[in-house]
Structure 1
Amino acid sequence: MISLFRRKTKSYGNVLPITVDMHSHLLPGIDDGCKSFDESIGLIKELIALGYKKLICTPHIMGDFYRNTPEIILGKLDQLNDIIKQLGLDIELGAAAEYYLDESFMERINKTEQLLCFGKEKYVLFETSYMNASPHLENVIFMLQSLGYTPVLAHPERYVYLFENYKQKLHELHKKGVLFQVNINSLSGYYSRPSKKIAEYLIDEELVSFLGTDMHGQRHFDFLLKSRETNYYKKALSQQLLNNKLL
């Protein structure tokens, strides 16, 4: 006898898979991501097996911790692309950066230095302190936009300072023209329960522009497999994500 109480599986119709990842730390040896070319290639092969066609590497640029420059990042990208070509891997590899909102980032903006960005809309991926809201956030958003960039806030679901009254704060940021990139692994509770809750809220409100792996290593990939099976991942795929427009 078929149970009347069997849980129904939610259906979101024919959804297209994500073929472009725009947040990863696959360039080895320059931040807290991959440590070697072997590790990078191993993860790239696994992402190819999941259907990814393009990977945009976004190493940290953060004050005195990760003092990366366009020259360092693009040089490492060239090295990794050479290996990919030698191995005959079917993947397009690009690079931008994940900028930390600190004094050095503000100096770059004030000096109108060319920022590492991606897409025709000149998307700039940035993050903030996890614990404390920056008093310069609104000014940075305005300045980026005035310079022709489109600000993309990395993993807004993870910022502790947004946990209280997050609904109002996130809507306010979105109205200012900030796009949101949610980490796929947030959907399986990898980071924290509050992060999972906020990620789900952003999807419910259709405020997510990008889903990213934020891939740092094998552990992230292992959880990615679980996260891709969640209903909220499938729900996000049914929305107007911008990932595949970067192909």
Structure 2
Amino acid sequence: MSFFSKLFGESAPPAEAASLAALEVDMHSHLLPGLDDGAETPEQAVELLRQLQGLGYRKLIMTPHVMGDFYRNTPEGIRGALAALESAAAKAGITGLELDCAAEYYLDEHFGRRLEQPESLLTFGGARRLLLFETSYINEPFNLNESIFNMQAAGYQPVLAHPERYTYLYGRFEELERLREQGVMLQVNLNSLAGYYSGGAKRVAEKLIDAGLVDLLGTDTHHTKHLDTLRTKTLAMPYLAKALALPLLNNTL
């Protein structure tokens, strides 16, 4: 029986089938402890690393929030937290798991100033300079198009985090199509497929997958509840197989 037959058949999947190894790389998580609303302690972070490795990941690109005066994370602070977590992981006996960092930038009045100072931004994907950003979930940012243009003009590849969660875009799917045509990569959260955030997010995620508009999948892990949902619900969702069949970029990072 094939992997996907086991994973998505009528019977409960065996433990060994619960793997996201095909993705290889998770490029959106909040595991670096003490930097945002994700892991609070090194011990919590190490446990999350173990669980993600158990799900099949070989590399984790951790992306703490950078948001106005609330999460005032800097590249130096983020890299320092990464080095500390690498040390804690090694002491805990975790091997074969590559750790890296970038950031998730909130599109606010501070972002434009950061864009003018390249040393203040953390990207992923090497020379592709992928820049992960998010917006308000409710209010459409007035400077969205301008910010995208400025990112591209500065040599960055914009990646919009979890577009399925922005309620201001509900009923406006053509706007997501336009953003993709404009050159913005779209990253869907895996747990959206299980309705973890809302029924609306689930529907938009499925529609994005059906339209082939998803470039990256991320766990957006903050805590163990996210991984519990991933194991017990998301892995059994039929749309996961559809998503994994897309030409995703995760395993190229």
The AA in structure 1 aligned to 2:167 is V
Tell me the distance in 1 between the aligned counterparts of 2:33 and 2:236: 28
What SS does the aligned partner of 1:185 have?
Answer: helix
Q: Using structure 1 for the length normalisation, give the TM-score.
A: 0.91
Contact 1:24–1:212, Cα closer than 8 Å, also in 2: yes
Deviations 1:52-102 (Å, cap 9, x if unpaired)?
100000000000110111111110000001112223312100000000000
The residue that corresponds to 2:75 in the other structure is 70
Tell me the distance in 2 between the aligned counterparts of 1:220 and 1:234: 19
**The one of 132, 137, 150 aligned to 1:143:** 150
The residue that corresponds to 1:4 in the other structure is none
Q: Does 1:184 align with 2:190?
A: yes
The residue that corresponds to 1:17 in the other structure is 22
The residue that corresponds to 1:117 in the other structure is 123
What SS does the aligned partner of 1:228 have?
Answer: helix
The residue that corresponds to 2:5 in the other structure is none
Unaligned runs of 5+ in 1: 1-7
Contact 1:16–1:237, Cα closer than 8 Å, also in 2: no
The residue that corresponds to 2:111 in the other structure is 105
Q: Which stretch shows the higher mean deviation, 32-41 or 79-88?
A: 79-88
The AA in structure 1 aligned to 2:32 is L
Describe the shift of the 1:95–1:131 C-alpha distance in structure 2 as closer, same or farther (beyond 3 A).
Answer: same
Contact 2:75–2:120, Cα closer than 8 Å, also in 1: no
Matches within 5 A, 1:3-42: 17-42=22-47
The residue that corresponds to 1:47 in the other structure is 52
Larger proportion of helix: 2
Q: Does 1:216 align with 2:222?
A: yes
Contact 1:126–1:153, Cα closer than 8 Å, also in 2: yes
Deviation at 1:9, TM superposition (A): 5.7
Q: Which stretch shows the higher mean deviation, 81-90 or 116-125?
A: 81-90
RMSD: 1.6
Unaligned runs of 5+ in 2: 1-7, 11-19
Deviation at 1:109, TM superposition (A): 1.2
Tell me the distance in 2 between the aligned counterparts of 1:200 and 1:190: 13
Q: How many residues align?
A: 234
